[in-house]
């Protein structure tokens, strides 16, 4: 009896970086992180990745397969880098829906798209990736950039994205992954656990959120595990591209 109860209690916990927290608590802890980082988000992205995130996103956008006039969804859009690229690809006759669970991040995305001149054909919806509030089979392409790592139930999020994808449509998951750095691996760890939190403290007065960033990357499924998770949710023709030696990976899956 006691063992069964312990097992149930263990099951109800999940990772928040290296911490184990009750399943239901992760969403609000993640919200706290992004409320805190929102004002400095773009600057920190450039500084922390030495600008590489722009190349990773460009690589992703080049693989959407989108054509003018089509419909795209950006999940966990943050300040809207990928959303903007999607909007450029589908053009004035297409449609882009920009979603994030966090209102402060979504405001950044809205400003970015408005400033770039995208108005009538872009919608902003505050939504949880695990339960997307759209009808079935309505998007030609879905992107989620550096978002899946933060979602509590990744299988539910993949299932939800599968549901709203049109047959033949593509999901692109851009996310930190397991790097193959050989002798440089200790340097990556040093950078992640010593430099990043200090940069966070210096530039955003927030070391804890950037410690969470490094820890959550280590807890995220590696390339093969994520591909398996996508296949379990029904995605086919899954491909994985390692970027910057696998520090980041782009997974693409198709709904047939």
Binding interface with ligand SAM (CB under 6 A): 30, 34, 76-78, 81-82, 100-102, 105, 128-130, 145-147, 150-151
Nearest residue to 152 via CA among 11, 7, 30, 9: 30
In whole angstroms, the minimum distance from the beta carbon of 7 to ligand SAM comes to: 26
CB closer to ligand SAM out of 82 and 252:
82
CB closer to ligand SAM out of 81 and 235:
81
In whole angstroms, the minimum distance from the beta carbon of 171 to ligand SAM comes to: 14
CB closer to ligand SAM out of 124 and 146:
146
In whole angstroms, the minimum distance from the beta carbon of 169 to ligand SAM comes to: 19
In whole angstroms, the minimum distance from the beta carbon of 172 to ligand SAM comes to: 11
Encoded tokens for 196: 């990043």
CB closer to ligand SAM out of 17 and 78:
78
Whether residue 129 contacts residue 144, with contact meaning beta carbons closer than 8 Å, is answered with yes
Cross-strand partners of 248:
176, 243
CB closer to ligand SAM out of 28 and 135:
28
Encoded tokens for 159: 């299932």
In whole angstroms, the minimum distance from the beta carbon of 41 to ligand SAM comes to: 7
In whole angstroms, the minimum distance from the beta carbon of 213 to ligand SAM comes to: 8
Sheet containing strand 139-145, strands side by side? 122-126, 95-100, 71-75, 139-145, 165-176, 248-254, 236-243
CB closer to ligand SAM out of 146 and 235:
146
Tell me the C-alpha distance between 34 and 65, whole Å: 30
- Residue 163 CA: distances (Å) to CA of 3, 59, 133, 152, 235: 37, 25, 11, 18, 11
Encoded tokens for 91: 């053009």
Tell me the C-alpha distance between 68 and 237, whole Å: 24
Closest chain position to ligand SAM (CB): 78
């Amino acid at each position: 009896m006691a063992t069964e109860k312990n097992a149930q209690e263990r099951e109800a916990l999940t990772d928040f970086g290296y911490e184990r927290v009750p399943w239901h608590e992760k969403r609000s802890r993640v919200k706290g992180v992004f409320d805190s980082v929102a004002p400095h988000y773009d600057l920190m992205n450039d500084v922390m990745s030495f600008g590489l995130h722009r190349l990773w996103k460009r690589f992703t956008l080049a693989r959407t397969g989108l054509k003018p006039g089509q419909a795209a969804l950006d999940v966990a859009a943050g300040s809207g880098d990928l959303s903007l690229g999607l909007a450029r690809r589908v053009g004035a006759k297409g449609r882009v829906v920009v979603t994030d669970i966090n209102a402060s991040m979504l405001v950044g995305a809205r400003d970015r798209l408005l400033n770039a001149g995208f108005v009538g054909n872009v919608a902003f919806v505050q939504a949880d990736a695990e339960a997307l509030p759209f009808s079935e089979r309505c998007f030609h392409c879905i992107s989620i950039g550096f978002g899946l790592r933060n979602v509590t139930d990744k299988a539910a999020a993949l299932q939800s994205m599968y549901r709203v994808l049109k047959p033949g449509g593509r999901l692109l998951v851009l996310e930190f992954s397991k790097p193959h750095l050989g002798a440089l691996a200790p340097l990556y760890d040093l950078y992640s656990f010593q430099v990043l939190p200090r940069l966070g403290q210096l530039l955003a007065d927030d070391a804890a959120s950037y410690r969470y960033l490094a820890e959550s990357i280590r807890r995220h499924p590696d390339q093969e595990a994520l591909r398996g998770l996508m296949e379990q949710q029904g995605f086919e023709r899954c491909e994985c591209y390692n970027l910057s030696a696998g520090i980041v990976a782009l997974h693409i899956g198709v709904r047939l």
